[in-house]
Amino acid sequence: MRLEQIAAQVVRCQRCPELRAYIAQVAREKKRAHMGSDYWGKPVPGFGDPHASVMLVGLAPGAHGSNRTGRPFTGDASGDFLYPALYRAGFASQPNATDPRDGLQLRGAFITAAARCAPPANKPTPQELRNCFPYLVEEFDALPRLRVIVALGAIAYGAVIKLLRERGFSFDPSAAVFAHGSELRTTKGRRTVVLIASYHPSRQNTNTGKLTVPMFDAIFTRANELLARGADEDPSRAARARGSVHPSSRREPPSSSETP
**Is the per-residue pLDDT at 240 higher than 70?**
no
Q: Over the stretch 126-150, which tens digit does the pLDDT of each residue have? A: 999 999 999 999 999 999 999 999 9
229: confidence class by pLDDT, cuts 50, 70, 90: confident
> Is 54 in contact with 90 (CB distance < 8 Å)?
no
Q: Which tens digits make up the pLDDT trace of 19-49?
A: 999 999 999 999 888 898 899 999 999 999 9
Q: Is the pLDDT of residue 237 over 80?
A: no
- In a domain? residue 121: yes
Q: Which domain holds residue 81?
A: 3-242
CATH code of the domain in which 187 resides? 3.40.470.10
Lateral strand order in the sheet of 183-188: 47-48, 109-113, 54-58, 148-152, 191-198, 183-188
The mean pLDDT value of the chain amounts to 90
The pLDDT of residue 136 is 98
Give a yes or no: residue 15 inside a domain: yes
Number of domains in the chain: 1
Tell whether 257 is covered by a domain: no
Structural domain contains residue 258 = no
Give the model's pLDDT for residue 147: 98
Within-domain flag for 256:
no
Structural domain contains residue 159:
yes
For the segment 61-76, the average pLDDT, to the nearest whole number, is: 96
The answer to whether position 187 is within a domain reads yes
For residue 250, tell me if it sits in a domain.
no
**Is 90 exceeded by the pLDDT of residue 195?**
yes
